[in-house]
């Protein structure tokens, strides 16, 4: 006993060995302040998604979703009237069902967009947990900050579209998959099923996330130590497909699965990808694959709209993040992030080329967390490598420098999002029609019927009903007064239609750079229509006043009133001088 106690005493009295330098440099932070920081970042993300939410009008894609969501007849038809129309647009139902019940409580832009805001905010804590599990609390916080501030998810959290829902569903799926892979616990399978249901019922393109998930799990089969777990995980992944497939088939979406089958067959017949546009299903060329396409259509939006030099910096940081993972021997995570980032993009772009359809960054928004994860690692890699170097402030300076680069580009992207309003103003058009159209007037939004269907439900028309000039002529001929709306969606036939409207003496109202409204009636003279237009409630717009002044040149007194209004509301001295010259020319006529 005595000998043992002596040895213990000697061992206890030995001085503690100095911890290695690496351990000193890798102290774990107190989790409580970091949790508070996470809450603050989530609040900031919420504020950015709320900011100017109702300022801009719905654009066409939002109006198409809302037109379907309001049922048929509008505001009367039940929820079951949604499903037949969804199939015609190759859309899946979840976000439309949310909109259907949500707009029962209000139809304003801010209110109808609120579900996207909430869903977008819900993705933030999920991505934080994902980053924390993979990389630690500090890197998880940085990933949370990047997703909260990135312009791309902010933008799609402010639209009545399903892309915020897709981002949430895929992020939740990835988190649940990784936890299920590590622990095998049932609760993570339930969470995995929830994530799969969300994204699979939100957008078809999100299904491509199964490609990296299944491929990564199959690679685990090569490792004998994980073979049993990998087989089980593959079975569970396939099991999560059963419920959404049953729901879609019961709802009548079998034809869309046939389209996917056709795409699969095209993979072994490459000639179908290079077919002429008229031979493709959507009659277009599809994405034009080139370095510029990758740079401007994919990498630039993922990087927050960064300029050329900044985009190089972003991509260098992403590459540095990948190198950091490899240096830390996190090979599986590096491979998984690469598969998540690249494989869905390849599949979606190939599908669009096969169909002859256009590409939009929103189709691949769910790969953004993989991109931002590598970006976060790249931002932290250099400071971490410098952390134990002298002088000590070098590490902090490196972090500040790369953070300033990223945040400055995000700031520029957010400014463009909030300040550059480049969508057509259908709200203005809808208000103008509702204020001035009579109860028996016919409203014709050529190839843009859903816009009018939402703002004037009693004028409902099937999408693309007014596809040619013939339908317009037939409708105008039997209606005392008609309003014809031409927009960017009718641009391919505008010249022909405009020429006919001019022959009819129609009064035109350029309400938006992309939208013009025409007012006409069978047998009505131009002067008669212009006299009726004098009573209309007009939005304050110098270009509109100028146009009406020019149209009223045969009625000089009326024209002068419009020219004076144009001068009064002209935004620049140069335009005022131009309008004044037009007024003087009218007076001298």
- DSSP string over 322-376: HHHHHHTT-HHHHHHHHHHHHHHHHHHHHHHHHHT----GGGGGGGHHHHHHHHH
What mean pLDDT do residues 208-226 have?
A: 86
Q: Partners of 437 in the beta sheet?
A: none
What mean pLDDT do residues 151-157 have?
A: 97
pLDDT in tens, 313-368: 889 999 999 999 999 999 999 999 999 999 999 999 999 999 899 999 999 999 99
Please report the pLDDT score of residue 319 as a whole number.
95
Q: Partners of 508 in the beta sheet?
A: 518
Please report the pLDDT score of residue 1 as a whole number.
44
Is the confidence at residue 550, as pLDDT, over 70? Answer: yes
d(CA 166, CA 150): 16
Is the confidence at residue 7, as pLDDT, over 70? Answer: no
Which of these, 396, 510, 555, 426, lies nearest to 160 by C-alpha position?
426
- Under a CB-based contact definition with an 8 Å cutoff, are residues 161 and 116 in contact? yes
pTM for this predicted structure? 0.90
pLDDT in tens, 72-107: 877 777 888 898 888 777 789 999 999 999 999 999
pLDDT in tens, 437-492: 999 999 999 999 999 999 998 888 888 899 999 999 999 999 999 999 999 999 88
H or E segment at 511?
A: strand 507-512
On the CB side of 77, how many CA atoms lie within 13 Å of its CA? Answer: 18
- Look at 358-372, 382-396, 507-521 and tell me which has the smallest mean pLDDT: 382-396
What mean pLDDT do residues 209-238 have?
A: 87
- Under a CB-based contact definition with an 8 Å cutoff, are residues 192 and 236 in contact? yes
- Under a CB-based contact definition with an 8 Å cutoff, are residues 382 and 320 in contact? yes
Please report the pLDDT score of residue 589 as a whole number.
54
Please report the pLDDT score of residue 249 as a whole number.
85
Q: Higher-confidence residue: 55 or 390?
A: 55
What mean pLDDT do residues 6-32 have?
A: 45
> What percent of the chain lies above the pLDDT cut of 70?
92
């Amino acid at each position: 006993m005595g000998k043992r106690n002596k040895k213990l005493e000697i061992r206890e009295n030995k001085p503690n060995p100095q911890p290695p330098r690496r351990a000193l440099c890798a102290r774990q932070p107190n989790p409580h302040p970091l949790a508070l920081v996470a809450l603050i970042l989530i609040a900031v993300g919420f504020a950015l998604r709320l900011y100017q939410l109702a300022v801009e009008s719905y654009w066409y894609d939002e109006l198409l979703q809302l037109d379907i969501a309001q049922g048929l007849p509008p505001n009367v038809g039940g929820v079951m009237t949604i499903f037949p129309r969804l199939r015609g647009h190759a859309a899946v139902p979840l976000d439309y069902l949310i909109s259907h019940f949500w707009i029962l409580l209000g139809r304003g832009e801010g209110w109808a967009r609120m579900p996207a805001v909430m869903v977008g905010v819900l993705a933030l804590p999920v991505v934080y947990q994902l980053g924390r599990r993979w990389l630690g609390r500090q890197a998880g916080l940085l990933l949370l900050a990047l997703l909260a501030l990135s312009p791309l998810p902010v933008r799609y959290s402010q639209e009545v579209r399903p892309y915020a829902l897709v981002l949430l569903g895929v992020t939740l799926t990835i988190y649940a998959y990784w936890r299920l892979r590590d622990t095998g616990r049932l609760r993570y399978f339930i969470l995995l099923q929830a994530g799969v249901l969300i994204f699979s019922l939100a957008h078809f393109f999100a299904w491509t996330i199964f490609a990296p998930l299944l491929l990564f799990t199959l690679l685990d089969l090569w490792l004998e130590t994980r073979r049993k777990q990998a087989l089980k995980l593959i079975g569970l992944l396939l099991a999560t497909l059963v419920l959404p497939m049953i729901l879609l088939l019961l709802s009548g979406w079998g034809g869309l699965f046939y389209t996917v089958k056709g795409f699969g067959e095209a993979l072994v017949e490459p000639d179908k990808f290079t077919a002429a546009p008229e031979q493709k299903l959507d009659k277009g060329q599809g994405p034009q694959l080139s370095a510029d396409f990758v740079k401007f259509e994919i990498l630039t939006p993922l990087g927050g709209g960064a300029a050329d030099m900044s985009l190089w910096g972003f991509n260098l940081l992403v590459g540095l993040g990948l190198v950091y993972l490899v240096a830390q021997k996190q090979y599986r995570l590096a491979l998984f992030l690469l598969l998540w980032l690249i494989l869905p993009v390849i599949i979606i772009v190939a599908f669009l080329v096969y169909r002859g359809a256009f590409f939009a960054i929103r189709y691949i928004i769910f790969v953004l967390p993989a991109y931002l994860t590598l970006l976060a690692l790249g931002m932290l890699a250099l400071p971490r490598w410098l952390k134990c170097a002298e002088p000590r402030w070098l590490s902090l300076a490196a972090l500040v420098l790369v953070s300033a680069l990223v945040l400055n580009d995000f700031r520029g992207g957010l400014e463009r999002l909030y300040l550059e309003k480049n969508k057509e103003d259908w709200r203005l058009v809808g208000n103008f029609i509702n204020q001035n159209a009579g109860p028996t007037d016919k409203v014709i939004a050529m190839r843009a019927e859903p816009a009018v269907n939402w703002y004037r439900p009693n004028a409902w028309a099937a999408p693309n009903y007014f596809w040619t000039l013939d339908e317009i002529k037939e409708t105008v001929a039997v209606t005392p007064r008609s309003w014809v709306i031409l927009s960017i969606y009718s641009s391919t036939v505008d010249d022909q239609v405009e020429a006919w409207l001019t022959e009819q003496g129609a009064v035109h109202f350029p309400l938006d750079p992309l939208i013009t409204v025409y007012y006409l009636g069978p047998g009505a003279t131009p002067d008669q229509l212009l006299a009726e237009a004098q009573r209309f409630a007009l939005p304050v717009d110098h270009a509109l006043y100028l146009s009406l002044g020019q149209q009223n040149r045969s009625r000089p007194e009326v024209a002068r009133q419009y020219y004076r209004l144009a001068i009064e509301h002209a935004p620049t001295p140069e335009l005022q001088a131009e309008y004044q010259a037009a007024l003087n020319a009218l007076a001298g006529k």
